[in-house]
Amino acid sequence: DGLKAEFIRLEITTLKENTYFAKILLKFNGAIKYIDCRPSDGIALALKFEAPILVAEDLMKEEDSIAFSSGKNQPIGLEEVRRFRKSLESLKAEDFWKKLKGGT
């Protein structure tokens, strides 16, 4: 028999020295296993398997300094963070892949 694992979820856990860290939660032969991964790889897999993506609460606090750029070489504002968060909440995996491949 082949190895069988169920992709349960992705957890983006910490931010250290401007680097995010993540773990994939798998169910393997009835046991739960955490696998360290790059967030980008974990997000791709979570979308592929339509699994939840969880982000540690402290990483999502609005009062924290946001390191993302709005393309203007300035930090983005809280309103932009709120809009981005709202769009993520309603994002479906199939819509993401369609837009990524150039669809509308």
Segment 7-49, tens digit of pLDDT: 999 999 998 888 889 999 999 888 999 999 999 999 999 998 8
Average pLDDT of the chain, as a whole number = 79
Whether 50 and 68 map to the same domain: the answer is no
Which structure tokens are listed for 101?
A: 């491949």
Beta carbons within 8 Å of 69's beta carbon, 6+ residues apart: 75, 76
Give percent of the chain with pLDDT exceeding 90. 35
What is the model's pLDDT at position 33?
94
Domain span including residue 78: 61-104
Residues 48 and 66 both lie in one domain:
no
Question: Which of 60, 77, 93 lies at the terminal end of a domain, its last residue?
Answer: 60
Return the structure tokens found at 28: 């393997």
What is the number of domains present in the chain?
A: 2
Residues 55 and 98 occupy one common structural domain: no
